[in-house]
Homo-oligomer: A and B are copies of this chain.
Amino acid sequence: MLTIGKLGDAAGVKVPTIRYYEQIGLLPEPDRSSGNQRLYARRTLDRLSFIRHARELGFPLEAIRDLLSLQDSPDQPCAAADTIAKAQLLAVRARLARLKALETELERMIVQCAHGTIADCRVIEVLGDHANCAHDHHGGQEAAL
């Protein structure tokens, strides 16, 4: 069993954040020691690490809740899981496309820097360009992500 501090260190999540996740129901209420301190099972570490990485990738907690529900109910009808997974996949691909464009542009800048000129920096244009944009900014819903 892990104390909350050990769990936090292992997952790279701060202690108050863990308590916050418990409060909003993303993590189950753990057992307590005789002195009322939280004690976590090993598998909670997987769940918490998942949450942490998903957050870093920009998933809102509600989307993470959905993804976790896939794990929590492996017997639920496939249609539900499929819908969630497909929506998340679209969102992930949209992010990938724009991140790749940004990567390319940053690489270009760094190469140019090596040659002593940044006068024609186009970082702004590459991300400002709606041609790379997975959203329709014009009246549509935001992506589920």
Report A's interface with B, CB cutoff 8 A.
9-12, 45-47, 49-50, 53-54, 56-58, 67-68, 70-71, 74-76, 78, 81-82, 85-86, 88-89, 92-93, 95-96, 98-100, 102-103, 106-107, 109-110, 113-114, 116-121, 123-125, 127-130, 133, 135, 137-138
Contact = CB atoms under 8 A, between A and B. Distances in A.
Most chain B CB atoms below 10 A, which of A75, A110, A119, A120: A110
Given A56-B95, A85-B109, A96-B100, 5 more contacts: A12-B138, A50-B125, A78-B113, A81-B109, A89-B106
Dominant secondary structure of chain A at its interface with chain B: helix
A78 to B, nearest CB: 5
